[in-house]
Amino acid sequence: FDWMVRNIQLVPAGSLGAPGLGQAQARPYDVLLRGMATEEGGLWSERGWLFLSLCRQLGIDVGLVTYTPAGRKDPIAWLCAALIDKKLYLFDPRIGLPVPGPDGQGVATLDQALADPVVLDRLDLPGQSPYLTTASALAASPSKIGILIDSGPGYLAPRMHLLEKDLAGKDSTILYRDPVDQRDKFVAALGPHSGGVTLWALPWQVDRLLFSNPQFVQATQQSLMFFDPKLPLVYARIKQLRGEYPEAIQEYMGFSFVEQPTLRDKRTPMSPLAQQAIDVYATYDLALCHLDQDNPKQAEFFFKKILRLLPEYGPGQPFLTMFRWGAQANLARLSEAQGNPSLAIAFYAQRDLTTQRHGNLVRARELAWRDPMAPPPASLPPPPTLPAPAAVTPTPAPIAPEGLAAKGESPEGEPEVRDPTEDFRRPNEKW
């Protein structure tokens, strides 16, 4: 979970949309490639879907927890629950934090969150960014507590089970999971609180749209435009994701900030647009490579380079400027690990237009409570005002509140949650 949060930056819904298309919901593989994900209203949980997929390869079942808040007719998705030793451990991909245990240490279970109101209250930021899921709200849910499990057709197909058995050694991977067995184990873990275990519709919908809706396919390709095989970025990124860090670093250094960039064929000149975007991606991914290799000095160098390169994200700005937010959060973690809480607080408090800001502020508050008499953190250098790399100017997108809730709304979103796939449906089509 922590690796995912460090490597996958949240972005507001719509910010990766193409003109006239909107933003397509992304599969875990696509999220890993581009390093960006959206969490919107519970139904649209790309970090959550990725967490389900990563844990599956560890043999751990993960589902989305649902409940019905007061004033709502239907259940909403809340966070992820990992089923380990018959207990449900809680991880919130929206804010990038596991729910802390009763003593503030470890990861809380659902039973602990229900039994001790303080467990969820620790995530609340009164007057600033309320965390409105409480123990009392869970206990009062008329639908009790449910679990949504992955509906991806591949993982439910018996033929994938047969293929999985034929894979061994370095090719070994988990391709199939029995949904009935998952249901039974989740129901047992929920105990008297069980409100049922059902399939999460989004993975199935995305799979269907990729095979039936040209607009959805085009929108998906738009968000991955810089990972075209003709460009060098995708090959370095895949090596990075495989853990081949020296090779990935060598490739990133080889094609970034060069005077006469070319495509993979070494002959065709690369457009300035593509080169500027690839320079940003390479710089950010170099920081992540060094972070994963436990090389904090080099990681810090490249994250700070991102802050010098990119202005603040805003209307009309390229989507890559949102990597500022990931750089700030990772620099905060590095400062925290290096014993510099004041600098960590300063980075955690920086602007982020996603629900990740709530998690950042929770971490900042924890550091401030450890030494309440410490002087306030120093101001950080302002963002550059130079023109940003002209990667992609998306259509204007709604800006998320600076935290999990605003104007009395719950962190789960608006009172009526909109189906995130409806932009790509045919008229009158039903799922």
Domain identity same for 342 and 284: yes
Q: Are residues 209 and 231 in the same domain?
A: no
With contact defined as beta carbons under 8 Å apart, do 360 and 332 qualify?
A: yes
What was the pLDDT predicted at 22? 87
Instruction: Give the chain's mean pLDDT.
Output: 88
In this predicted model, what pLDDT tens digit does every residue of 109-159 receive, in sequence order? 999 999 999 999 999 999 899 998 999 999 999 999 999 999 988 888 888
CA distances from 225 to 30, 33, 232, 359 (A): 11, 11, 12, 30
Q: Is the full-model pTM beyond 0.95?
A: no
Q: Which residues contact 415 (CB under 8 A, 6 or more apart)?
A: 71, 72, 409
Residues 303 and 403 in one domain: yes
Residue 321, CB-side half-sphere exposure with 13 Å CA sphere: 25
- The whole-number pLDDT of residue 386 equals 63
Residue that is last in its domain, among 215, 250, 282: 215
pLDDT of the residue at 164: 79
pLDDT-wise least confident of 92-96, 144-148, 156-160, 334-338? 156-160
What pLDDT score was predicted for residue 411? 44
What SS3 class is residue 67? Answer: strand
409-419 mean pLDDT? 40
Range(s) of the domain holding residue 32: 2-12+14-215
Q: Tell me whether residue 115 is in a domain.
A: yes
Q: How many residues does the chain have?
A: 431
Residue 264: CATH number of its domain:
1.25.40.10
Of 261-265, 297-301, 340-344, where does mean pLDDT reach its minimum? 261-265
336 and 306, same structural domain? yes
Distance from C-alpha of 137 to C-alpha of 142, rounded to nearest angstrom: 10
Q: What percent of the chain lies above the pLDDT cut of 90?
A: 71
Same domain, 72 and 114: yes
Dihedral over alpha carbons 276, 278, 280, 286 (to 10 degrees): -150
Please check whether residues 171 and 316 belong to one and the same domain: no
Q: Which of 155, 183, 215 is the last residue of a domain?
A: 215
pLDDT tens by residue, 50-87? 999 999 999 999 999 999 999 899 999 999 999 999 99
Closest-CA residue to 51 (of 79, 15, 77, 11): 79
Does 168 or 180 have the greater pLDDT score?
Answer: 180
Domain boundary among 197, 215, 233: 215
